[in-house]
Chain A
Amino acid sequence: MRTFKPLPSQPAPKETVGAVNWIRENFFSSVGNSLATLAILMLLAIILPPAIDWLFLSANWQGVTQADCTKDGACWSFVKAWSKQFFYGSYPSDELWRINLCLLALVAVIIASNVLHKDWRNKIAIPLFLALPFISIVILDGRPIGLSFVSTDYWGGFSLNVLLAAAAIIIAFPLSFLWALGRRSDMPMIRSVCVILIEFFRGVPVLALFFMGSVMLPLFFPEGTNVDKLLRVWIVLTLFMSGYMAEVFRGGFQAVPKGQYEAADSLGLSFWQKTLLIILPQVIKISMPNILATFVMLFKNTTFLLIIGIFEMLSTTQTALTNSNWLGGHATEGYLFVALVFWICCFSMSMISSSIERKLDTSHKK
């Protein structure tokens, strides 16, 4: 009998590998492609030198007042001088550790829920995650734990954008999951209530929701109580986020194969056991990239809060621009800085989201 011997693998042909080849194939593969490449290179040659000059070479980095900005370029000392306000608003300087603690706790819980073993994650990280907004409020407010009281009027800056968005998405997680579940329910009453909620909060612009929140939310609280402005904003952002996330979850539900429900049923699991142990983990995994994308949108939308007088980062920047010590027209630097900070955050979240997507893609091939 003849024994089967596989042929040895050969290296790929020379003309298809290497850097020069890569450049030729990607930038100069045709006349049109070459022209486009040249046009873009020329545009860059026109724009880049003055931009680099203004941004870095003749920029002012040192100094604490308007008068120190003597060179032609950007006045980065403006950003430096206001950086505390940009990040922390008017929160008392001695108490900034409280904000840092909350931000740190947020990062810690997110990391923990990704690296911890499943049992620990379910028993500790997730409950802690859900409690985090309330713990943060207690720490920032101070009164319940005997720290000095800091009214929400002083909360502000970029940390407020981050904490508000995080607090909204954390509560939106369980809420939107229930809405999505309700939308799939056999019971017409529950289904229509959920459809109305989801479509309302998705369909109305977030700004309109903020104004409605100021007017309408107090009606739901006992008369005479003064509902804190930030609390109202938190509720509105949570509901807004829930509307979008419920739709993301709905897509996730549809992506879980029918066989998963049947296998859970045939093992005799109850409805809630099936939903929480089998379906929910798979739905969250499938939906994660879209949830992150939705969160990026929510996060950017927190800058709208300047319109209703909350001192998040953008409105803090505007305040700084009208300060009498810095009336030199530093709007470009200020807004560039705000844009840069948001861009870094949103871009890294997009990167995370697409890396999760790639991982899902390979693990779900089967």
Chain B
Amino acid sequence: MTSEHQQGIEKNDNIIVIEALNKWYGDFHVLKDINLKVKKGERIVICGPSGSGKSTMIRCINRLEEFQRGSLVVDGVEMIEDVKNIEAIRREVGMVFQHFNLFPHLTILENLTLGPIWVQKKPKKEAEATAMKYLERVQIPDQAFKFPGQLSGGQQQRVAIARSLCMSPEIMLFDEPTSALDPEMIKEVLDVMIELAEEGMTMLCVTHEMGFAKKVADRVIFMDAGEIVEQDTPDEIFNNPQTDRLQLFLSQILDH
């Protein structure tokens, strides 16, 4: 965390505002009164035990999940039951999944240009040039004409990141981007994410990579049982937990 970066985050420039958000799966209250403001350029790491609602919360932000109560505003657009608003928000928000979710019937290049061509209506040539630029940034331009099944997990995840970046999103969501990868490949994906963070991308990242959190996060959010239990700088969260729940969680993940 650099002080330069801290100044770059303007005080009232909230790009995501979540207020009193509640969600149920049937009778199961999965998100309880979530309040969260994210400033432009802020890097947030979300952690917590399995089933605590981390995925559900970030998936609400691009409407992969609906919620029943509360409000959510992304870059000034309110998330309501309206195709126009939902599509507008999805154009602002990129998402990277645990299992990559590349389109297996399309080449890497086609995976990257699909969104720009069909959603942003860019000419094919321009979309391909942009795609190649991002493939170079994630260091696999030589894989452009292969199919996803021919790439290693780490390479696939880097393609997935590049695919989101091709849509020039304002916000990037990551849902455990490295937890399906072999240890040897985790670093190559984390390196790409660190680079992205250094360029000032607004990021919300569910991960248990504590090294990554310490290195890039402005704020760490700890969730349990559908609530935000604590949120603070990584230093405070890791060295000075305020609740017994977080203490227990930290002792468990640091144990092994």
A residues with a Cβ closer than 8 A to B are: 257, 259-260, 262-270, 273, 277-278, 281-282, 285, 363, 366
Contacts and interface: CB of A to CB of B under 8 A. Distances in A.
B206 to A, nearest CB: 15
Contact of A262 (B64, B163, B167): B64
15 contacts: A260-B101, A263-B101, A263-B102, A263-B103, A265-B62, A265-B90, A266-B94, A266-B164, A267-B114, A267-B115, A267-B164, A268-B115, A282-B104, A366-B148, A366-B149
Given A269-B114, A270-B87, 20 more contacts: A259-B101, A260-B101, A262-B64, A262-B101, A263-B101, A264-B103, A265-B62, A265-B63, A266-B93, A266-B94, A266-B95, A267-B90, A267-B114, A268-B90, A268-B91, A268-B167, A269-B118, A277-B114, A282-B104, A363-B104
Nearest to A262: B64
B119 A282 contact: no
Contacts, number: 61
B99 interface: yes
B64 A266 contact: yes
A269 B103 CA distance: 13
Nearest to A274: B118
A354 to B, nearest CB: 21
Contacts of B167: 267-268
Interface string B161-190: 001100100000000000000000000000
A180 to B, nearest CB: 18
A266 B105 contact: no
Given A262-B97, A277-B114, A363-B149, A268 B102 contact: no
Given A277-B118, A363-B149, A366-B149, A268 B105 contact: no
Interface residues on B, range: 20 to 34
A266 B171 CA distance: 12
B115 to A, nearest CB: 4
Given A266-B62, A269-B119, A282 B87 contact: no
Contacts of B95: 262-263, 266
A191 B104 CA distance: 29
Nearest to B149: A366
5 closest pairs, A vs B, by CB? A263-B101, A259-B101, A268-B90, A266-B95, A267-B115
Contacts of B87: 268, 270
Given A262-B64, A282-B105, A366-B149, A267 B93 contact: no
Contacts of A363: 104, 149
A273 B90 CA distance: 15
A45 B104 CA distance: 52
B144 to A, nearest CB: 15
Nearest to A363: B149
A288 to B, nearest CB: 12
A365 to B, nearest CB: 8
Point out which of B64, B101, B163 has the most chain A C-beta atoms below 10 A from its C-beta. Answer: B101
Given A267-B167, A269-B115, A269-B118, A281 B62 contact: no
Nearest to A256: B104
A257 B163 CA distance: 19
A273 B95 CA distance: 18
A266 to B, nearest CB: 4
A260 B103 contact: yes
A257 B102 CA distance: 11
A217 B96 CA distance: 52
Interface in B89-132: 90-91, 93-95, 97, 99, 101-105, 114-115, 118-119
B205 to A, nearest CB: 15
Contacts of A277: 114, 118
Nearest to B91: A268
A253 to B, nearest CB: 15
A269 B94 CA distance: 12
Nearest to B110: A118
Contacts of A262: 64, 95, 97, 101
Contact of A268 (B103, B119, B149): B119
A268 B167 CA distance: 9
A282 B94 CA distance: 23
Contacts of A263: 95, 97, 101-103
Nearest to B175: A262
Contacts of A270: 87
Contacts of A285: 105
A269 B93 CA distance: 13
B253 to A, nearest CB: 26
A273 B118 contact: yes
Contacts of A264: 103
A260 B90 CA distance: 16
Contacts of A259: 97, 99, 101
Interface in B44-98: 62-64, 87, 90-91, 93-95, 97
Nearest to B63: A265
Contacts of B119: 267-269, 273
A269 B116 CA distance: 10
Nearest to B160: A263
